[in-house]
Amino acid sequence: MSEQLAQRLCGELTKLVLVDPHTHINPHSPASKTLADIMGYHYYTELAHSAGMPKSHIEEPGLDPKTKVGRLVESLTNLDNTIQVSWLVELCRKFFGFTDDRITPANWESLYDKAAAKMAEPDWEDQCLKQSGIERVFLTNDFDDPLTGFDSSRYIPCLRTDDLVFHFANPAVRERLTRATGIEPTSPAKIKQAIGKLFEHFTKHGAKACAISLPPSFSPQPPSHLTELESRFNAAFIDQDLATTGLTSIRSQGQEFIFWTIAEFCAEFQLPFDLMIGVNRRVYPGGVYQGQDLFDQRVSLIQYKELFNAFPQVTFPISVLAQVSNQELVSYSWIFPNVVTNAHWWYSNIPTYIELDTKARLQAVPRNKQIGYYSDMYKLEFAWPKFSMYRQCLARALAQDFVVARKWSEDEALALGRQVLRGNVESIFKV
Amino acid sequence: MSEQLAQRLCGELTKLVLVDPHTHINPHSPASKTLADIMGYHYYTELAHSAGMPKSHIEEPGLDPKTKVGRLVESLTNLDNTIQVSWLVELCRKFFGFTDDRITPANWESLYDKAAAKMAEPDWEDQCLKQSGIERVFLTNDFDDPLTGFDSSRYIPCLRTDDLVFHFANPAVRERLTRATGIEPTSPAKIKQAIGKLFEHFTKHGAKACAISLPPSFSPQPPSHLTELESRFNAAFIDQDLATTGLTSIRSQGQEFIFWTIAEFCAEFQLPFDLMIGVNRRVYPGGVYQGQDLFDQRVSLIQYKELFNAFPQVTFPISVLAQVSNQELVSYSWIFPNVVTNAHWWYSNIPTYIELDTKARLQAVPRNKQIGYYSDMYKLEFAWPKFSMYRQCLARALAQDFVVARKWSEDEALALGRQVLRGNVESIFKV
Amino acid sequence: MSEQLAQRLCGELTKLVLVDPHTHINPHSPASKTLADIMGYHYYTELAHSAGMPKSHIEEPGLDPKTKVGRLVESLTNLDNTIQVSWLVELCRKFFGFTDDRITPANWESLYDKAAAKMAEPDWEDQCLKQSGIERVFLTNDFDDPLTGFDSSRYIPCLRTDDLVFHFANPAVRERLTRATGIEPTSPAKIKQAIGKLFEHFTKHGAKACAISLPPSFSPQPPSHLTELESRFNAAFIDQDLATTGLTSIRSQGQEFIFWTIAEFCAEFQLPFDLMIGVNRRVYPGGVYQGQDLFDQRVSLIQYKELFNAFPQVTFPISVLAQVSNQELVSYSWIFPNVVTNAHWWYSNIPTYIELDTKARLQAVPRNKQIGYYSDMYKLEFAWPKFSMYRQCLARALAQDFVVARKWSEDEALALGRQVLRGNVESIFKV
């Protein structure tokens, strides 16, 4: 009964055209060309490797796309239970006329060819977006991205700042900053000036958000030792062999200075600052490309207390990597006006956790402060299956907790669903 | 099917008259007088603020009750999804003849007036308790409360000790202690003597529990440096500018000494010691009144190992703020005879978390060691909707995990439900 | 509907004969002789104690088995809600013709006698295994176990190494090592040599795994100060009064050296290394036998980063004690080829947590990397009710998340269920 109700709600929610508020789409090549682009998504390569396929087999230099797909298909027999592989099958059924339930050594070649033909159609990008019910897509842009050559009414720039905060010691990063801004970042004041230039550039080109991913240990404090940062500039920002851990270290102060400067410009330029909290990079350096990061669940939003208090005028859409962080996210969003919940990220982006997290958010966070979902996709084809998964979870939560338990009408429940799916994306990011 | 079963069980459980084992009721003014008393509950002001209403708008000095309610009603449009607002609507429907599903700018004024008329009836307090199925209510009393002027067979005193442990450095607190006991607390021995007086006073007036809320960092050790505490009395108990963090600091030793002393008197006076573990105070100092506290999920009951071992004769009803702490609470209650589970506190008091936590407790903690619920209310009107929410969750757990999964009869399931709802409150607090 | 489906799947899964990959069975006395052997399981003694029975009452020296059972039965009235007591009732119904729903002071004596008669049958061990659908059972062997005198085609040895790593400072442990290997462990090199002998002995006798339980604070690093370990041998390995906490302490380095050495031999002898992560021993020293251990949820698999990277050729089946660790376990198993999920351990082994954890694992971990369950039993009679509980949870997850939500056929779902129940035990442990 409540399952049928959930399906009915899901059907209605599927009619709503969406804005996807966080992706890694390359606007110069947004859609896939072959199944290798699709199955090259790190979810498939890392799961294939985890299930036993050597990295060298997957990442062999010069591997042609079709052979690569053939190899990856071999491991699907160990992976068909995963929700990630269900995305793959769903998108093949949706877009490429695939009619089987599983991709196997026996059927993949014809699928490969049909998919290639479909994706070769000149309007594939448009078709894919249309069929997926997506009309606008946020990007993740390097800070030195020229932001030209694409339709910014469809692809909305977002200033990604990980490099500035965490890789400033890398000379290549500083050179990119100098080239992008004309300012050599040789003092805290110059760094600030250069970052200001980036914000001018991005907002002039329609950027609607600034974003960063953060390790579990990060706990930014307001910069307080500017004289020390100036006098020990190399230690704070440049020296590569410096141990960078520990809150009190000069390097941490340097990182915090840049982070805080970015937050200040978010205030000045009225950009929401997406915080993606909790990732440890390169935990498994022997893993495949983009399949090396993990996390430490011992993290708390209390680490951002000073930030949230210092910038009441900046909206912080927050994604947490650890599912155990969701209750803190719910509670901080319920108390802080400038904290909003942002989707279901990466290792938390599986139905079991989405459902629990969605239920808690819908029960305790103001409805205008919840961004339901983003796809995080690298290629357009993934918006459909990922948003479908989320809609199923959302519809189930609305059915059980609102229509059944609280006697809401289906229309009232759908209005809530539409707000978290789309309305809040528009109001929070002003798109 | 199991939903209908759950409703049937819930209906039966609703017939049971209850003792509410933890509230913030003022026994001299237990019920509300206007809807402003009800909507002034921090849940509504903090959520309204979180959803966008300036604090100044909500807490404007001299604001009359009706205008305040009118303002708060404006934000309900952003909050109607929350379980907290569902409490509000439920109680208005239960007590004030409200027949709509939502409180809106169009209907709130007549509700306000009807509610005011109802609450002006001279026996409103009795009516409210009767309709709510509540016959006795635990209080939260300041340590210097004279405990007179109210019916202590209805309102049961509870000695709240946060001020003594965490605000002893405040001269006003020490003066209150001196006035209440006639003892100036100028040495560890005098502090102990004064606290003993408080216990005498409270138990003489029918107190049935001692209580305290504790920050996530608290990890009390048995006092071991009494000579140091004596010789550095100011540093340990008085100096306001001392950094108070760190287990080894002298101030921590002072706090631990007072905490431990309270536990010793709980043993001597045979009072259960309610520990409410995990709150960080004033995380958002710009928030509305009582809407500034949050938490850090990185806390463990292992921090109380020494305490639980040192006081086998003291029962510790434990509430945890972080939902992730529930499994530890279940496990510690399953092992330690003197640890019992106590309700669903604050940020964990939403149906998603109540259901999970209730299921785990019913599956693994002896049934005589579970206090199902307390309302934590400030005004009597809230017992009804809060206990209703809990009964729904409890009934669902009993239906799914006992009647369906384990083939218990409905009567057996109801007997378990009644025990955690009422029986254990009586046996644990001896009321 | 989905409940009926779950029951149908569960019925099918029950037909599968299993290998139990982790138990504490004594192969020289695998089955119980009286109900006292069964009710002497720490779950019942610790819960009886927790519910109010004095330890002295339960562990009175010289207590005869029947009197002991009579006493424990008294406390079942406080414990019948627990899943642990449901195991007890289930096994009595399965094996001993018990037909009531509860064991009470009125019916226990006849049950005691019937059970004793059944267990006195000469082939009770065979009958019990047959009825339980278990054909092979992993043991937990002390490192100095001679491994003789039992049928190692039924009882599979497993080298348990807690004593070596955490109790090496105990002279009795070192003497046992000397006796077992003929090598006096007086230097790091000799320790390594002795441990190598143990691996030879165990693998010669058919051992299929090495195992250890680990405290939440353990975070092994590769040994790097061998010279220091040699020159400060007593401090690192022997001195009993040394504070052993702290990563940098010499004692920690000693423990890490032994642990790392064991991992090296797991690589050399191709044995999976079961890590059981997160237990604090003797948190409640006043508790009954085996009812004194608890945990600290503040633990992360990031503590094993160096280990997982250093031994890609060793499979690490991982059990976590804290339920909040499950998402890390899912994620680390999804990324690291050598990390696999291993069952539901101790305080996480209750249906509420099993269901959540099973769902997350089935949705995100390659299907060939999940060991569904082990019984952890001390006596054979417990395999049936414990595996039954797990099968119910597994069947429900398969029904809801695969057959209903993802439209899998029942056969496909059953194949997945059979793989995690049995297939992976065979492939991972090579049995």
Task: Look at the alpha carbons of B248, B254, B259, B262 in this order and tell me if their dihedral is positive or negative.
Answer: positive
Q: What angle (nearest 5°) sits at the alpha carbon of residue A60, between those of residues A55 and A62? A: 160
Residues of C in contact with A4 (CB under 8 A): none
CB–CB of B189/B202 below 8 Å? no
B-to-C residue pairs, Cβ atoms closer than 8 angstroms: 109
Strand A316-320 and strand A339-342: the pairing is: parallel
With an 8 Å Cβ cutoff, are C364 and A348 in contact? Answer: no
pLDDT interval class at A156 (50, 70, 90): very high
Contacts of B306 in chain C (CB under 8 A): none
Tell me the chain C residues in contact with residue A47 when contact means C-beta distances shorter than 8 Å.
334, 366
What was the pLDDT predicted at C225? 81
C316 Cβ under 8 Å from any chain A Cβ:
no
Residue holding tokens 């353990």? Answer: C218
pTM assigned to the model: 0.97
Strands of B339-342's sheet, edge to edge? B158-160, B209-214, B273-277, B316-320, B339-342, B370-371
Closest alpha carbon within chain B to A355 = B352
What is the DSSP code string of C17-58? -EEE------TTS-S-SSHHHHHTSHHHHHHHHHTT--HHHH
First to last CA, chain B: 38
Q: Is A305 on the interface with B (CB under 8 A)?
A: yes
- The CATH number that domain A127-429 falls under is 3.20.20.140
One-letter amino acid identity for A192? K
Q: What is the DSSP letter of C141?
A: B
Strands (E), B250-360: 273-277, 279-280, 294-295, 316-320, 339-342
Contact A356, A401 (CB under 8 A): no
Is C51 close to B416, i.e. CB distance below 8 A? no
Q: For residue C226, name the pLDDT band (cuts at 50, 70, 90).
A: confident
- Quote the mean pLDDT of chain C: 96
Q: pLDDT value at position C240?
A: 74
Best of A326, A406, A410, A428 to disrupt the B interface by mutation (most B CBs within 10 Å)?
Answer: A406
A361 inside 8 A of chain B by CB: no
Give the number of C-alpha atoms closer than 13 A to the C-alpha of residue A394, restricted to the C-beta side.
29
CATH number of C126-429: 3.20.20.140
Residues A431 and A136 sit within 8 Å (Cβ to Cβ):
yes
Alpha-carbon gap: A330 to the closest alpha carbon of chain B (Å): 9
Query: Do B191 and B185 form a contact (C-beta atoms < 8 A)?
Result: yes
pLDDT value for A181: 98
- Mark yes or no for CB contact A351/C405 under 8 Å: yes
Q: Is the CB of residue A275 less than 8 Å from the CB of residue A304?
A: yes
* Contact status of B392 with chain A (Cβ, < 8 Å): yes
In sequence order, the β-bridge partners of residue C340 are C317
Say how many residues make up chain B: 431
B366 in C contact zone (CB under 8 Å): yes
Percent of chain A with pLDDT over 90: 94
Q: Which amino acid is at C30?
A: P
Q: Report d(CA B398, CA B361) in Å as an integer.
A: 12
**CB-nearest partner of C327 from A52, A280, A322:** A322
Interface predicted TM-score (ipTM) of this complex, two decimals: 0.97
Contact A47 C366 (CB under 8 A): yes
C61 token code pair:
């020296």
pLDDT on residue B248: 56
Tokens for C46? 């610790």
Residue B39 in contact with residue B112, Cβ under 8 Å?
Answer: no
Q: Where are the domains of chain C?
A: 34-119, 126-429
CB contact under 8 A, C363 and A350: yes
Q: Which two tokens stand for residue C141?
A: 């062997």
Whether A302 and B295 lie within 8 Å, measured CB to CB? yes
Per CB-CB distance under 8 Å, the chain A contacts of B352 are 356, 359-360, 363, 401
Helix (H, G, I), strand (E, B) or coil at B33: coil
With bands split at pLDDT 50, 70 and 90, how would you rate the model's confidence at A18? very high
Q: Which CATH architecture has domain A34-121?
A: Orthogonal Bundle (1.10)
pLDDT by residue for chain B (431 residues), tens only, comes to 688 999 999 999 999 999 999 999 999 999 999 999 999 999 999 999 999 999 999 999 999 999 999 999 999 999 999 999 999 999 999 999 999 999 999 999 999 999 999 999 999 999 999 999 999 999 999 999 999 999 999 999 999 999 999 999 999 999 999 999 999 999 999 999 999 999 999 999 999 999 999 999 999 999 888 899 999 999 899 987 655 444 458 889 999 999 999 999 999 999 999 999 999 999 999 999 999 999 999 999 999 999 999 999 999 999 999 999 999 999 999 999 999 999 999 999 999 999 999 999 999 999 999 999 999 999 999 999 999 999 999 999 999 999 999 999 999 999 999 999 999 999 999 99
Looking at every residue in chain A, the average pLDDT score rounds to 96
Please check whether residue C165 is in contact with residue C48, taking contact to mean a CB–CB distance below 8 angstroms. Answer: no
Query: Any bridge partners for residue A273, and if so which?
Result: A210
A353 Cβ under 8 Å from any chain C Cβ: yes
CATH number belonging to the domain at C34-119, selected among 3.40.50.970, 1.10.2020.10, 3.40.50.20, 1.20.1050.10: 1.10.2020.10
Residues C112 and C119: their CA atoms lie apart, in Å, by 10
The helix/strand/coil state of B400 is helix
* For residue C246, pLDDT beyond 50: no
Distance between CA atoms of residues B323 and B297, nearest Å? 8
pLDDT of C247 reads 42
pLDDT of residue A246: 46
Contact with chain C for residue A78, Cβ under 8 A: yes
DSSP letter string over C158-177?
EEE-HHHHHSTTSHHHHHHH
For chain B, the chains sharing at least 3 beta-carbon pairs closer than 8 angstroms are A, C
- Tell me the C-alpha distance between B164 and C265, whole Å: 57
pLDDT tens-digit map of A367-394: 999 999 999 999 999 999 999 999 999 9
